[in-house]
């Protein structure tokens, strides 16, 4: 076991303006937990003085670490770097903008320990500080992901979560090039619970998730966890083939009535038939590509959480609470 109980991972990009407010709220919260901790800040190739301000804060806060990426690699990549560099028995990820209140970390840690959970999600119970567009697009995103990936994806849970060391170690060995942790973590099946909080306004600076990045996140989510885009060709092929059959009947009826020029019917039917067959073949090819993609991802088919042969009495699984049954 590590001598550090809690690691707090904070990915940052051009967050110079918000760092003083973050330190002002985060440090007393962590000092009040009564456990050893570290704060792993990850500077994602910022163009402002984010790294310098963090380094200066570290002079008076020895628990503050600075990990600096050589170039801007994206929020999820910076989060991955922080998870991989963390050393605590428990790891919390939180953004620097203070929209997710650091004070909730104490509730997360207490919930995990009291209920024997490996994952505790921060659930946004009130998003009134977000814009109308952000609230409704986020709601549509979670509905779509739950439909495509499964009901295990908690609604209104972003990247504010607590993970046990066991979960972090599993995430580290997964060969994900573009991880989307809000979907990847639920897919592992670890015992989980939730802690609700009210989402606050950004303390300073500008949002780092404009529409372009939101669309990119939605695409990565769909492409990483579902073969639906590849299978779209299959369904289009089936629909087109059925339509072709109907149009063939129409073509034969028109030909029987003698209302077409010679040769039109045969050409019409040939084009329809070949188009439908081509789309079906393209869909079948997509199915095989989807299976190759899933194999390349190399995600484990299962994770063993308990084996009665080697278990101690303390490890005997208890019935999950309603909060853990997401």
CB of 93 closer than 8 Å to CB of 184:
no
* CA 294 remoteness from chain centre: 17
Alpha-carbon distance 251 to 18, whole Å? 69
Residue of 281, 89, 266, 74 lying closest to 179 (CA atoms): 74
Regarding predicted confidence, which is higher, 141 or 193? 193
Best-predicted range by mean pLDDT (197-201, 211-215, 228-232): 197-201
- pLDDT band of residue 188 (cuts 50, 70, 90) is confident
Mean pLDDT score, 171-184: 82
User: 């950004």: which residue's tokens?
Assistant: 202
pLDDT score recorded for residue 310: 57
Regarding predicted confidence, which is higher, 122 or 263? 122
Query: Using a CB cutoff of 8 Å and minimum separation of 24, what contacts does 137-143 make?
Result: 137/214, 141/214, 141/217, 141/218, 141/221
Alpha-carbon distance 243 to 2, whole Å? 63
pLDDT score recorded for residue 279: 74
User: What are the tens digits of pLDDT across the range 37-91?
Assistant: 999 999 998 999 999 999 899 999 999 999 999 888 888 889 999 999 999 999 9
Share of the chain above pLDDT 70, in %: 72
Mean pLDDT score, 303-321: 52
Residue 308 has pLDDT above 70, yes or no: no
Least confident of 96-100, 118-122, 263-267, 273-277: 263-267
pLDDT score recorded for residue 61: 94
Mean pLDDT score, 163-186: 87
- pLDDT band of residue 96 (cuts 50, 70, 90) is very high
Mean pLDDT score, 31-39: 95
Share of the chain above pLDDT 90, in %: 35
CB of 174 closer than 8 Å to CB of 78:
no
Regarding predicted confidence, which is higher, 18 or 217? 18
pLDDT score recorded for residue 322: 39
Mean pLDDT score, 112-127: 89
- pLDDT band of residue 304 (cuts 50, 70, 90) is low
What's the half-sphere exposure (Cβ side, CA atoms, 13 Å) at 326?
27
Alpha-carbon distance 68 to 55, whole Å? 11
What's the half-sphere exposure (Cβ side, CA atoms, 13 Å) at 141?
21
> Cβ–Cβ contacts within 10 Å for residue 239, how many?
12
Q: What are the structural domain ranges in the chain?
A: 6-225, 228-297
DSSP state of 95: -
Residue of 210, 209, 222, 212 lying closest to 183 (CA atoms): 222
- Helices 211-225, 228-257: axis angle to 10 degrees equals 80
- pLDDT band of residue 325 (cuts 50, 70, 90) is very low
Alpha-carbon distance 58 to 27, whole Å? 11
Handedness of CA 268, 269, 270, 271 (dihedral sign): positive
What are the two backbone dihedrals, phi and then psi, of residue 64, each rounded to the nearest 5 degrees?
Answer: -85, 120
Regarding predicted confidence, which is higher, 26 or 131? 26
Q: Look at strands 64-68 and 6-12 and give their pairing.
A: unpaired
Alpha-carbon distance 234 to 317, whole Å? 43
Superfamily of domain 6-225: Spore Coat Polysaccharide Biosynthesis Protein SpsA; Chain A (3.90.550.10)
pLDDT score recorded for residue 6: 97
User: What are the tens digits of pLDDT across the range 229-285?
Assistant: 666 767 777 777 787 778 778 777 777 777 767 776 677 777 877 777 777 777 777
pLDDT score recorded for residue 148: 66
- pLDDT band of residue 186 (cuts 50, 70, 90) is confident
Mean pLDDT value across the chain: 80
pTM value is 0.71
Handedness of CA 153, 155, 159, 165 (dihedral sign): negative
């Amino acid at each position: 076991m590590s001598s550090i109980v809690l690691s707090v991972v904070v990915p940052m990009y051009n967050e110079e303006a918000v760092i003083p407010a973050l330190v002002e709220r985060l440090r007393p919260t962590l000092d009040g937990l009564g456990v050893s901790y570290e704060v792993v800040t990850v500077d994602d190739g910022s163009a402002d003085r984010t790294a310098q301000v963090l380094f200066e804060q570290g002079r008076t806060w020895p628990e503050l670490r600075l990990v600096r990426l050589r170039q801007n690699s994206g929020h999820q990549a910076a989060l991955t770097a922080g998870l991989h560099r963390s050393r605590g028995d428990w790891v919390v990820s939180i953004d620097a903008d203070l929209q997710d209140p650091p004070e909730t970390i104490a509730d997360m840690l207490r919930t995990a320990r009291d209920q024997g959970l490996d994952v505790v999600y921060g659930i946004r119970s009130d998003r009134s500080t977000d814009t109308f567009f952000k609230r409704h697009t986020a709601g549509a995103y979670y509905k779509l992901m739950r439909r495509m990936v499964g009901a295990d994806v908690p609604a209104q849970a972003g990247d504010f979560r607590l993970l046990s060391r066991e979960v972090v170690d599993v995430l580290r060995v997964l060969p994900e090039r573009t991880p989307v942790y809000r979907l990847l973590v639920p897919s592992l099946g670890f015992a989980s619970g939730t802690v609700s909080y009210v989402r606050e306004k950004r303390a300073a600076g500008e949002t780092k998730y404009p529409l372009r990045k939101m669309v990119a996140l939605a695409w990565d989510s769909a492409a990483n966890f579902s073969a639906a885009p590849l299978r779209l060709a299959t369904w289009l092929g089936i629909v087109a083939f059925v339509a072709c059959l109907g149009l063939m009947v129409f073509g034969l009826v028109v030909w029987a009535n003698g209302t077409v020029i010679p040769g039109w019917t045969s050409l019409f039917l040939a084009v329809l038939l070949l188009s439908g067959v081509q789309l079906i073949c393209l869909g079948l090819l997509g199915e095989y590509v989807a299976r190759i993609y899933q194999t390349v991802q190399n995600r484990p088919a299962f994770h063993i959480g308990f084996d009665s042969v080697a278990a101690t009495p303390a490890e005997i699984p208890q019935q999950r609470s309603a909060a853990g049954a997401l």
